A and B are shown apart, each in its own frame.
Chain A
Amino acid sequence: MTSRASDLANSAEAAWSRRRVLACLGAWPLAAGAFGAVPAIAETGPLRFTHTFGETVLPGPARRVVSLGYTTHDALLALGVPPVAVRYWFGDFSYGVWPWAQPYLGDARPFVLTGEVAMERVAALKPDLIVGIGSGISRAEYQVLSHIAPVLMHEDADTSYGMPWDVMTRTLGRALGKSAQAEILVSGVREKFSAARARHPDWAGKTAVPAYHWGGETGAFVGADSRARFFIELGFQPTPAVANLSGPSGFYAPLSPEDLSPLDADILVWISSYGAVPDLVALPMRRTLRAHIEGGRSWQARLSPVRCRSAACCRFPSFSKSWKPI
């Protein structure tokens, strides 16, 4: 499939948000798997973190962690510190934890936070660390939360939902006194990526674009977004037009329905909900894309958790057999 243009519509059953695949990609640290044999090299003294809202100081490694980011609990679980509270994103899974991470829960029964962050609820959990990375909380919320426990945020250079997975994993590892373990997790995922690149040298130099269509708007995931980076780590490049896009949020950029040519890549992956598929298929300018014209190899698949994890493990083309044409 690699040499052909493909037009894939990835769709999750109960999934709606644009950020959904972040959840899958958040599983990377878990996919790295093996850890535990290496002793943690603990930093001594207070741990200092500089971030977009200033500086946070932890007196020592955290153990009771409230995870407010929509995917940060995956990294915490991989690091062996199940959070005391998890932010609900989507999917009907107990404790808001998707199947790939369920085994890492152990005996933990995290509280599931839904909707807006309820400060009183967070305070009642008596955390010693609040993870605000990838949570979208405001500076005002950060300040209130800081009275409860030290709060970690994304770095100034990143957007709210745009902290790269590796930086996020390392930051959390340091906060938990498990930097060495975080390094192992990150390098494990990196190895899987480089193995995938080695297996598919023909991917290098090909273009790939993760696109969305939702609520009457079409666009591409750009910049440091996990979906955009996923393809880059596999060896693909964004199309030059997409590379030049930067949306107001920094992680996705809307396009005009009259000109979808930036999406004209060797591989086009639609990441959208099932509900939006009829609109997506009906997009008039989709007919002008190579993926459609040369296509014939277009699929859609429900992004079930298992496949999702497969995707995270870079076996993504191999499971496309179960996809049906659109």
Chain B
Amino acid sequence: MTRWGLLIGVLAAVVLLSLTVGVRPVSLAEAWRALTAPDLTNPDHIVVLSIRLPRIVAGLICGAALGTAGMAMQVLTRNPLADPGVLGVNAGAAFAVTLGSLLLQRADAGFLAYLAFPGAAAATVAVFSLGGGFRGDASPVRLTLAGAALNALLVSLVSAVVLMRGDTLEVVRFWVVGSLADAGARPIAAMAMAAGGGLALLFALAPRIESLALGAALSRGLGTHPGRVQAGVLVSVTLLTGAAVALAGPIAFLGLMAPPIARKIVGAALRPGLVASALLGAVVLLFADTLGRLVFAPAEIRAGVMTALVGGPAFVLIARRLSPGGTS
């Protein structure tokens, strides 16, 4: 179990790093005082409590949600390149945010977060429906194709809106990258509950997802209803990625990257894989966010960019060491 110890240790280290490192360095002791005996006139305490803590919490939720949703998608579609974005979640959220901001003339982070969640959910339902999910004949290929088509459509629509109305450009420009910078203004508690629900559902469904991964015919023989399992996974992935996208915008790549590394560490079984993927997702996102506020300080590089920058090379290294077609 040293592998679990290592994962948890790394996560704890990243959390501490994120709590203490930044444009305004805060000692560990000061950070502790901020948490135990907060003094709201002390700038260090304000930074820890109002800026870094929300970022850490949002990063943990968002990273874990994307890691687990990615794992579920990859197993369900039997496609190692599947990530939550395949279901159109990010494009759906981006479209809802753009259109909502234009129609309602709002641009504040907390409000846009509430638009993102239904946008993401609507897109997922649309992909499931287009992919034949409600007729019970959704195959991984159909779902992937439907997702790609809807993604393209929504991205074009977002571009069209932005080109026609320049005032939405800044909203979109900030929003599509993904960032934890204004996590404090976003509905963290509500999204934590949504992601928690999704994760619980995914855990409950895990054995049936594994049996479905053997193929629809074989899983039917084993007593699984493919349609119901698919619908269940869809609901949980929607909750997970909807929460993530509402908290941080579309963080690319994390859902793709965390699962194979998690399998490499803890093996092919789904439940341990989900936990490891959640931990890894949180580690990578928090580390990326912390690094992003240091590299070009005082300006910040958004977590969405840093995740790809940090995760990309690591992912390529690990992918090269995975045996082709292997499950671990």
Contacts and interface: CB of A to CB of B under 8 A. Distances in A.
Interface of A: 14-17, 90, 114-115, 214-217, 254-259, 273-279, 282, 284-285, 287-288
B170 interface: yes
A256 B24 CA distance: 9
B122 interface: no
B43 interface: yes
Given A278-B108, A278-B110, A284-B51, A256 B293 contact: yes
Interface in B100-118: 101, 105-111
Q: Which 9 A-B pairs have the closest CB atoms?
A: A275-B107, A215-B174, A284-B50, A16-B167, A256-B298, A256-B23, A278-B108, A254-B299, A216-B181
B107 to A, nearest CB: 3
A276 B40 CA distance: 24
Contacts of A274: 105
A318 B164 CA distance: 38
Given A115-B166, A254-B299, A285-B43, A259 B107 contact: no
Contact of A214 (B43, B47, B170): B170
A38 to B, nearest CB: 39
Interface of B: 22-24, 40, 43, 46-47, 50-52, 101, 105-111, 163-164, 166-167, 170-171, 173-175, 179, 181-182, 184-185, 293, 297-300
Given A14-B167, A257-B51, A285-B46, A276 B181 contact: no
B170 A258 contact: no
A287 B298 contact: no
13 contacts: A16-B170, A17-B166, A115-B164, A216-B174, A216-B181, A216-B182, A254-B299, A256-B24, A257-B51, A258-B24, A258-B293, A277-B108, A278-B110
Nearest to A287: B46
A90 B179 CA distance: 27
Nearest to B162: A115
B246 to A, nearest CB: 14
A254 B46 contact: no
B46 A288 contact: yes
B17 to A, nearest CB: 15
A98 to B, nearest CB: 16
A277 B109 CA distance: 10
A17 B169 CA distance: 9
Contacts of A258: 22-24, 47, 51-52, 293
A196 B235 CA distance: 63
B181 A257 contact: yes
A91 B123 CA distance: 33
A17 B166 CA distance: 9
Contacts of B24: 256, 258-259
A257 B292 CA distance: 13
Contacts of B171: 215
A285 B47 contact: yes
B243 to A, nearest CB: 19
B39 to A, nearest CB: 12
Given A216-B182, A256-B298, A278 B111 contact: yes
B117 to A, nearest CB: 18
A284 B166 contact: no
A179 to B, nearest CB: 34
B98 to A, nearest CB: 13
Contacts of B107: 16, 214-215, 273, 275-276, 279
A285 B107 CA distance: 20
A285 to B, nearest CB: 6
A90 B170 CA distance: 13
Nearest to A214: B170
A273 B46 CA distance: 26
